[in-house]
Amino acid sequence: MAEILNAHGSKNDIFVAAMTPRDFASADDLRAFVRWLCDRAGPFGGDGIYFYDPSPRVPEAWFFNPDGSSAEFCGNGMRCLGRVVLDQRGSDAAAIRSGQAEYTVRRGAVTPEGVRQISLEQPAVDFTPRTPVVAGRNPLTGARLPELDPALEFTAVTIPNPHLVALVDKYVESDLIAMGERVTARPDVFPAGANLSVLLPLETGEVFVRTFERGAGLTASCGPG
């Protein structure tokens, strides 16, 4: 039985377990376990789990969303996993493979409150996204997606998970949830799904961001988002 740790990165609560998908009898068993563990109506609850194999020189990791689906990468989850790997190896930096890429994690400064921070080199933003596909084309900056909201303009990016981003003049949480659920319900339009973020410029000069993540729903934060 492997130890399952619970950590958080920017309030994304992520489980970390030294297991691999091969440790489960079947893919169905794996997905059922992830759904049970991450179910917030159950005994635990979380935004996903990173399984990892610590034995290779570059540890290999697999991320699963609360609904049991897999993702190439989770930014805040990778920082949680990075803390575990760095502590195990007694090092200040390490590379970890997740999906098709390697990510570098490093120890950051300790805050006055004693929080040991972990930094992550995010991958480059790709503006030629693999998804979504609308009317036979990939929408880029300023695309109208009537399937979601005809009044908004969306930018589609890959980081490396697919994202849709829209600028709004007012944040309405129920609208974001409804749009996120429409993305989930339309695999014909969004074959790989998408994390959906809305951005609201504030008078302070800051930007408010909220994300509806594929396979997870509304979350407290999203690293790549």
Three-state SS at 67: coil
Q: Which residues contact 178 (CB under 8 A, 6 or more apart)?
A: none
Fold of 143-219: Diaminopimelate Epimerase; Chain A, domain 1 (3.10.310)
Structural contact between residues 43 and 51, judged by C-beta atoms closer than 8 angstroms: no
Residue type, 137: R
- Specify the pLDDT at position 158: 87
Give bridge partners of residue 97 from the DSSP assignment: 60, 102
For the whole prediction, is pTM greater than 0.85? yes
- Specify the pLDDT at position 134: 47
What radius of gyration, in Å, describes the C-alpha atoms of the chain?
18
| Per-domain boundaries in the chain | 4-120, 143-219
Give the CA distances from residue 179 to residues 44, 115, 173, 186, in Å, rounded to whole numbers and listed in that order.
27, 35, 10, 11
Q: Which residues of the chain have pLDDT under 70?
A: 1, 128-142
- Specify the pLDDT at position 135: 41
Q: Which tens digits make up the pLDDT trace of 162-173? A: 899 999 999 999
Domain 4-120 matches domain 143-219 at the CATH topology level: yes
Residue 219 is given by DSSP the state E
Q: Which residues contact 78 (CB under 8 A, 6 or more apart)?
A: 50, 61, 96, 98, 103, 105, 120, 223
- For the domain spanning 4-120, the CATH number is 3.10.310.10
- Specify the pLDDT at position 160: 86
- Specify the pLDDT at position 179: 95
- Specify the pLDDT at position 129: 55
State the Cα–Cα distance between residues 218 and 195, nearest whole angstrom.
Answer: 10
Report the run of H or E that residue 126 belongs to, with start and end.
none
Active-site positions? 74, 222
- Specify the pLDDT at position 165: 93
Structural contact between residues 137 and 195, judged by C-beta atoms closer than 8 angstroms: no
Q: Which tens digits make up the pLDDT trace of 84-129? A: 999 999 999 999 999 989 999 999 999 999 988 999 998 888 876 5
